[in-house]
Structures are given as structure tokens and as C-alpha cells.
Amino acid sequence: MLRWAPRPVDLFVAGVLTLGTQVELWLGPDPGISRPVLALCYGIGTVAAAWHRVAPLVAVTVSLTALAVVPGALGVDPADSFGWLVTVIALLVSVGYQARRPVFTLAVAAGLIALSIVLEKGFVLADIVYAWLILGGAWLAGHSIGSRTVRAQLADERAQRAEQGVQWRMDAAVTEERLRIARELHDLTAHSISVMTLHASGVRRLLYDDQVAERAALEAVERTGRESLAEMHRLLGVLRSPATISSSESDDTFQPPARLARVEELIVAARGAGINAHLQTVGDVERLPAGVDLAAYRIVQEAVTNVLRHASATRLDCLIGVGHGELRLEVIDDGRGLLSQRSDGHGFTGMRERVQMYGGSLEVGPQPDGGFAVRAVLPVPALDQSRADVAP
């Protein structure tokens, strides 16, 4: 439907009013002037009333001019027509209900009615005041209905917002509970499975060469432990971020464990973001135990992600050093210092969990000369041992 087209119900009502005023005009007493001229005026006035919703001011101006001003100029008192009275009152009720500028539109209607009286009878104050009282009453009724409708709509909106607020608080409580469950599961289960796997590995190394069946059974225990722990971490990742993991993060959650050999990909991504990023690797990272390898990668990944998201840095230096029974990690930037501690997800809490799992140390904080640094040290078992431990 076009913007300026009246509604079908308004056209129907306007048609009924037009028919009623025309029947009353042609079957009623002689108005004293040409009936066709008066019929044309009444027809224009009642038909124009159909636009009372889409253009209230225009509808009032055209209708009252045709229904009151022109007949008044011709010496006819339009108030003698019942159809005229119904049309004007209905029009004023609608104006008070939905006009954008109801007071101004009422003033226009009052002026046109006063003009019609002056043209017909001269300046008769009593008639003008009486007509204004009728118009004002109709307008006030419509305005009261409109105000109540608006208040009801506002009340509904407030109720909806309150319901949304309750739902948001419920969702937040559920999310908080999921986080608590995730941490408790980590504390209760991950460490136990890791210890079980390490003990099975230790017992396997004590077996004689001819204990083939026992060795195979212990290897199965180790393998099952590693697989169970890896699957548990995937499930915990879903618990920690049930609806906020991006598609790339979600895919990464279910990919095979990452390694320090992939840190170069993080550095390339940082360069793509406009940061002058450098990577320095000292020692053989390929021989690191799998768990330490994965934990170290996640620490570097979180540190680099913080730089990209929060630090507004222009330079990033990453150092990975293996030697003397430990793995050293450093991620240093020249960004906004403490502000870079704002981390989505678990941030530095996740770093500390990984470092503590392996009995290492973690230092995070601003640099004396500006910027921010993340430094982690992880103990590394003898490099000739089996890669049997599991990442946190």
C-alpha cells in the first residue's frame, strides 16, 4: 500500500458518511441555494476525511473548508445537517488521537469553524464559543484515548525489557555456573588422569624386555588416558564458552593439539595486522614433550592474542628458548601496558593454570620503559624420555 493511501476501513467509513450526507441533503428541506453545489462541497469534505490517519492536518483543512467555510460563505448553516456534525466530530476525535501536532491541528480546526460562522452570521461570539466547546470536547476525547494507548504501549515495552533483563541474568548465572563446573572438572579430573598416565608410563619403563603383554597393556592405559584427557579438554572448551566461541576458535578447539612449531603462524597473523613482529627460537623445540609443547603454544597464543586485541602495539618480540632443563617463553610488546591485561575468555588465568600444571612460573606486567611483557618458564623433562605426558 502507498504511503499516502488511506486504509480500506477509512474509505468505507468515508463512503458511508458521504452517502448519509448526500441522502440527507437531497431528501431534506431546501437549503436555499443550488443543491448540486452544496452536494459537491459535502462530498469533498466527507471523502477527504478518509485521510485522517495518513495526513490529519490536510484532512482537517480540506474537510472543514468544504463542509463549513464554503457553505458558510454561501449563507448555509452546515450545523443543521446531522451527517455534517458526525463527520466533524469523528474527524476531531481522530486528530486528537493520532495527529503528530494535535494542538496545532485543533487550532486550525477552531479557526476554520470560527471563519465559517463569521462568514454566515458575522462575529457572534456565543456561537463561536459553543462550536469551540464541541470541537474541544471531541478533540480531548481522542487525545485521552491516544495518551492511554501510548502509556499501555510503554508499559508493554517496560515489561518486555524487564523480562529480557531477567532472561539475561538467568543466562549469566548459567554461564557462571558452567565456568565453575569447568574449573572443578579440571581440578578434580585432569590432574588425576595426568598422574595416572605418568604412573603407567613409569611402570612400563620398569618392565623387562620379555614382558611384552604387560608392556602392551600399559601402553594401552597410557594411550587411553591421553585420549580421554584430550577429549575432556574439548568438552571443557565447550563448557567455558558455550555461545561466544567464534567459528575459527570453535574449529581450533576440535583440531589436533597445536605445537610450538606453529608459533610462526601467530607471528604472520600479527604482521598481517600491521605489527612489526619477530620470532626467535633457541634450541630444539621438536623434541619437547607433547604436553609441554601444547601448553607453551597456548601461552604464546594467548599472549599474542592479547597484543592484537588490546595493546595497540606497533612491535612484538617473541622468544622461545629450550635449554638447561627448561623452556623459556617471552612475548614483549610496546603497547599500552596494563590495559593489555584486558583479555577475553580466561586470559592470564588460563596461562597460570597451564604453568602451574607443570610446576613452572609466570610473570606478566608492564615494562619499565613502556610496553608489556609475558614471561613463562616451564620445566622440561629429559628430552630422551617418551612424549607421554599430557597438556593441561
Q: Could you tell me the CATH number of the domain that includes residue 302?
A: 3.30.565.10
Residues 6+ apart with CB under 8 A from 239: 178, 179, 181, 182, 185
Helix, strand or coil for residue 361? strand
Q: Is the pLDDT of residue 279 over 90?
A: yes
In a domain, 74, yes or no: yes
Assigned C-alpha cell, 364: 606478566
- Residue 37 structural domain: 8-123
Residue listed under C-alpha cell 591421553: 226
Residue type, 186: H
Q: Are residues 75 and 101 in the same domain?
A: yes
Q: Residue 278: what are its φ and ψ, rounded to 5°?
A: -135, 145
Q: Among 129-138, 150-159, 288-297, 323-332, name the most confident range.
A: 323-332
Residues 329 and 365 in one domain: yes
pTM exceeds 0.85, yes or no: no
Amino acid at 25: L
Query: Is residue 99 included in any domain, yes or no?
Result: yes
Are 267 and 308 found together in one domain?
A: yes
> Do residues 312 and 360 share a domain?
yes
Residue at which a domain ends, from 188, 213, 240: 240
pLDDT digits (tens, 9 = 90+) for 200-228: 777 878 888 888 888 888 887 877 777 77
Q: Are residues 44 and 102 in the same domain?
A: yes
Q: Are residues 119 and 14 in the same domain?
A: yes
Q: Is residue 155 part of a domain?
A: no
Higher pLDDT residue, 328 or 35? 328
**Residue 81 pLDDT more than 50?**
yes
CA distance readout (Å), 28 to 17, 44, 80, 218: 16, 19, 10, 111
Q: What are 166-185's pLDDT values in tens digits?
A: 888 887 877 777 777 666 66
- Strands (E) across the chain are located at 276-282, 315-323, 326-333, 361-366, 372-379
Least confident of 124-138, 157-171, 184-198: 184-198
Q: Does residue 219 lie in a domain region?
A: yes
Are residues 21 and 117 located together in one domain of the fold?
yes
Paired with 317 in beta bridges are: 278, 332
The answer to whether 14 touches 47, Cβ cutoff 8 Å, is yes
* Maximal CA-CA distance, the chain: 131
Q: How many structural domains are present in the chain?
A: 3
Regarding whether 276 and 231 lie in a shared domain, the answer is no
Does residue 384 belong to any structural domain of this protein? no
Note the pLDDT of residue 290: 76
CA distance 193 to 186: 10
Asked if 310 and 343 count as a contact pair (C-beta separation under 8 A), the reply is yes
Question: Does some domain include residue 89?
Answer: yes
Task: Share the mean pLDDT of the chain.
Answer: 75
Residue keyed to cell 472543514: 64
CA distance 309 to 340: 8
